[in-house]
Every structure is written in C-alpha cells, then in structure tokens.
Amino acid sequence: MDAETSALRRIPAVDEILKTSSAQQAVERFGRSRVVEAIRQAVADARREIHAGTIAVPGIDTIAANALRWLEADARPNTRAVFNLTGTVLHTNLGRAILAEAAIDAATVAMREALALEFDLAQGKRGERDALVRGLLCELTGAEDATVVNNNAAAVLIALNTLAKGKEAIVSRGELIEIGGAFRMPEIMARAGARLVEVGTTNRTHEKDYAAAITPKTGLILKVHTSNYRIEGFTKSVSGKAISALAHAKNVPLLNDLGSGTLVDLARYGLTHEQTVAEAVAEGADLVTFSGDKLLGGPQAGFIVGRRDLIAQINRNPMKRALRIDKIRLAAIEATLRLYRDPDRLAERLPTLRMMARPLDTIEAAATRLKPAIAAAVGPRFSADVIACASQIGSGSLPSEVVPSAGIAVRAVGARGKGRALLSLAATFRALDQPVVGRIENDTLVLDLRCLEDEAAFVRNLAALRIGERS
C-alpha cells in the first residue's frame, strides 16, 4: 500500500465527524443536511490535498472546523452592511441614501403588520396607494397632484409613454444624457414610443430652437437636468421659466426631469444651491420628475408631480401597475417626507443631509481619534496619516460640488511591491465582518471619514484585521 492510499484511508468518515461536539453545535445552528454537506465538502478538500501531495491527514477536529468555516462563510448574507469610506455620500454601488430612523421604523411596521395600503379607512372601501403620500408631495412641492413609481427612470418612461407615445418629444442636444447602467435618454424615449426631436447644439440651445421645432405632432417638451456632468465655456441654455412660457403658449406640456431632485435649498446647509422641486413647479413645468433615494434621502422611488389632468392620464396608463412600489417603500417615503415639515431639524434627522453638511472640523477630529486604531490594525508594513481630502455627493447629484473632508491615508512602506500590497490591503478591508470600502488614488488607500458616524463599531470591526500581527 502506498503512502497516498494509506493517508486517504485514515481520513475520518462523515458519520464519525458528525458526532463531534462542534458538528453537533453546528447542526443546531444550520440544520443537519447543511452540516452533512459541509463535512462532505471538507472531506473532499482533504482528499484533494492528499492527491496533490500533502500526505498529512487532517484530524477529525480539523475537518469539523473547516466545515464550520465553510458554513459560516456560506451563511453570510449577500446584502451586507459596509462602512462607506469612499468619500461619496450617495454611492450608487453602496445603496445611495441611508434612511432616517423614522423611515426605518415605518418600514418595519409595514413589514410586520397589515397595512391600509389600498383601503380607505374613513369610507371602509377600496382606496388608492398613492393617497398615502400624495398630500405630502403636493404640500412640499406646490404641485396640484402627484404620483409615485419605482424609480426616476420609470417616472420619465411612463410620463413620455403617456403624453408622447406616437408623437414627437423635443429635447436639447445638450440634455441627451447617459447615466449609470447605460440609461440613455434617446433610448428611453424610443422605448416609450416617442419620436425624439433634437434642438440646438451640444453647448448652445436657444428659445427659438424650441419654438421652431413645435408642430401639431409635438407631444411634449422635455427638459433634462444634467445631473452627472456640466458643460462649461461658450454655452447657452433656456431657463425652465422661458420654456414653460413657450410651451403654454403653444399648448404643449413641459416635462422637467430634475434627476436627483431636492425639496430644500441646499445652500442653507453650506452646499451649492440646486433647483428645488418647488422652484421647478413654480416656474411653470407641467410635470416634474425626481428621485427618492438621492438628495431627498429616502428609499428608491420616482416621483411625478404637476398638473392634475396629466397625473390622471399617467395613472390610467396600464404601465403604472407594472411600475408601482410596495407598501414597505411607501411607508418609508411617507415618514421621510414628514421630516421635511420641520426644516430646522431636518439635517439632524436625515442621514443623507447630515453627512453632506457634516462640519469639516468634526471630521478632522474623528480622523485624529481613529488614526491610532487604524495604524495598529494595518501594522508596520503600512503607514497611516491624517490627511485633508475631498468628498462628493454622488449619484449624479451636484456633479461639480467637491466638499472638503478629512480621512486617513494608508500607504505601503518600502520601495518594492507597494501597488500589490495596497490592493491586497484594500481587499483585506473588504473581507472584514463588516467590509470597509475606501478608494485608492496615487498609491494611497484613502479612508474618507465623512460618512462614518459609529466610530466604536468601526474600531471593533478593525480588530479582525491586525495585518501586523500576521506578517
């Protein structure tokens, strides 16, 4: 009998491993079938190692421990909380807005209890789900009516499909945007059944360009907020007020897609002024569309506010049912909107606004406090220094806005292999129980602390890193 065959025969049987105390405890946590599967996987791994030349036979406790590690890794949810240290407040890939506690509480109730979703409690008969938020949206925007769908792309799609299907939709060439996920305005218009009519040029569009394009075939004029870029230099655009006056004179609806959309003047919080939804309504737009999970700070949703007769047409579109949102998000939206009734305490209660407006000295103080813990975690192979850096709002919101911030710069020590070492460190941060996501720039892992509010949890999470102790 050769050494390999002898080693294979000494591998403990699955039933034997299953009798160990660690395996029995695992059965209580994961169920017998999952534990048996994990043990078989661990035994198969041991066999492969022996076939590869490793003659040492793992003990029964080792195989049981390997199986447990496999189970624990497999049990980790795919939707995991992370520490967002990228410096991008509304990071699309990290879920955009963090909900206010009031919204979380409302969503929890909606998940746990039956909800008067489409039931009129006063009349005791079927109601309409939009009624849960319509009044608040009208109050906060000054619009006659409002409806809500599952995101702003859907809001634009259904508005175009309702008002311009089989008709022409006029839009400036400088507003034919592409946003994340290859969402292109011309393609959305085509899917909606509208025929695109481009006016003006990339950098300059005049009122006369819109006027010349209006015909009996025109379904609407579309104004698109260039939310993820800016055209600077020799430029000309037409204000929403001017387009509105022209549209009304020609009896053509104006749809103003604000993209992100804000319900408050951000200048009040030290940020650049962004046209509010109420301002867009006031200057005459017949319909205004905007997002729920960006500057508004709520869950993913798309809002359409404006003329009552046009909203009624949209609500009659069969597509509306396919694009509607569920009770959980509606509950969170209502709770978020109610916060805007108290603008004096809004920044305190709305995480998105609180993070955007967070004072620089507060962030700098946090960086100073956290530097020793981060330095200890990364060990002597890396340096950790407090730095000034710049945050951004993200998700196409305020694209030219750069907000001063502070963080920790982690750099590899030594002349060789610094790039590989830094990439490995970043991967190690992302492999923590609660992944830490920063950004790499100029051979530096930047941990921007603008969005870090729970310092104690962050430090506890770092305990598993300890690069220096393993090197």
Across 76-141, where does the E strand assignment appear?
Answer: 83-84, 119-120, 125-126
* Cβ–Cβ < 8 Å for 41, 70: yes
Pairing of strands 119-120, 125-126: antiparallel
* Cβ–Cβ < 8 Å for 111, 307: no
Residues 6+ apart with CB under 8 A from 14: 36, 39, 40, 43
How far is 3 from 142, CA to CA, in rounded Å? 83
What pLDDT does residue 55 have? 61
Residue with tokens 């400036």: 172
Tokens for 248, please give them. 């009304």
What pLDDT does residue 237 have? 83
- Dihedral in degrees, nearest 10, Cα atoms 428, 431, 437, 441: 30
Q: Which domains does the chain have, with CATH numbers?
A: 3-75 (no CATH), 83-92+355-470 (3.90.1150.180), 101-349 (3.40.640.10)
Please write the tens of the pLDDT for every residue from 387-411: 999 999 987 776 667 899 999 999 9
Q: Which residues of the chain have pLDDT under 50?
A: 468-471
Residue by residue, DSSP assigns 338-378 as: HHTT-GGGHHHH-HHHHHHT--HHHHHHHHHHHHHHHHHHH
What pLDDT does residue 468 have? 47
What pLDDT does residue 469 have? 47
* Cβ–Cβ < 8 Å for 270, 357: yes
Tokens for 445, please give them. 């892992």
What pLDDT does residue 470 have? 44
What pLDDT does residue 180 have? 63
What pLDDT does residue 164 have? 96
How far is 312 from 318, CA to CA, in rounded Å? 12
**One-letter amino acid for residue 27 of the chain:** V
Pairing of strands 183-184, 168-172: unpaired
What pLDDT does residue 138 have? 98
Please write the tens of the pLDDT for every residue from 76-104: 888 899 999 999 999 999 999 999 999 99
What pLDDT does residue 175 have? 78
